[in-house]
Amino acid sequence: MKKHTPTDDPRWEDLFTGGSLRRVTRWGEPVLHARTEPVTDFDTDLHDLIRDMFTTMDAADGVGLAATQVGLGIALFVYVCPDDDNVMHHGAVCNPVVTLPEGRDRRLVSSEEGCLSWPGGFSPLARPDHATCEGQDPWGNPLTVTGTGFFARCLQHETDHCNGIVFGDRLSKRSRRKLDEQHEGRAHLYPDDWPIHPKG
């Protein structure tokens, strides 16, 4: 599968490995339900955090992870996610803003969605199949990432996290109840500090 980063900057490769595991926060913890603060310092501390987020996301078998999911209320997410053309996208976006198609260009696709912060629960959710995410890269440069299919869903899901929204907030009451039941039925498999301690 082809690997794609947002730019040809060779510094990206240094961010994808070498991090430490962090605990993934759960829905209900305040940091997940509050709008984040913008990233303003594009320094080595930010780069160390990004490495930790990639490492944590990989250990949890995720395709995207926001800073709120490791307990930090800043507007940042990382991703390793395929698109409809079987291209695997690797990257990180600071201060993301998503633009979605409108009118005739808007095509909603309903697909199963889950969240590392509500492990074990999945629910169909309709989202546009195309998304453009603008923000800044880990060095403060302007960045635009465009996604289709599953990658578009990932960009929307993670930007929602930066706005204090979890995907359960977008479900009907009935669908949310089913999602919560799934999570509760499997919650015993996930230690409180998962993925520092692995899934049971």
Assign residue 188 a region (left: φ > 0; alpha: ψ between -120 and 50; beta: otherwise): alpha
Residue 130: name the closest of 170, 76, 85, 167 by CA.
85
Q: How far apart are CA 113 and CA 10, in angstroms?
A: 32
* Amino acid at residue number 132: T
- Which is the catalytic residue, given 37, 102, 158, 181? 158
- The answer, yes or no, to whether the previous bond of 195 is cis (omega within 30 of 0) is yes
Q: How far apart are CA 189 and CA 170, in angstroms?
A: 26
User: Which helix (DSSP H) or strand (DSSP E) does residue 56 occupy?
Assistant: helix 44-59
Provide the token pair at 110: 């309903």
Q: Which residues are annotated as a binding site for Fe cation?
A: 115, 157, 161
Residues shown for the chain: 200
- Phi–psi pair at 60, nearest 5 degrees: -95, 5
**At CA 88, angle to CA 199 and CA 20, rounded to 5?**
40
Assign residue 87 a region (left: φ > 0; alpha: ψ between -120 and 50; beta: otherwise): beta
Q: Is 158 a catalytic residue?
A: yes
Active site residues: 158
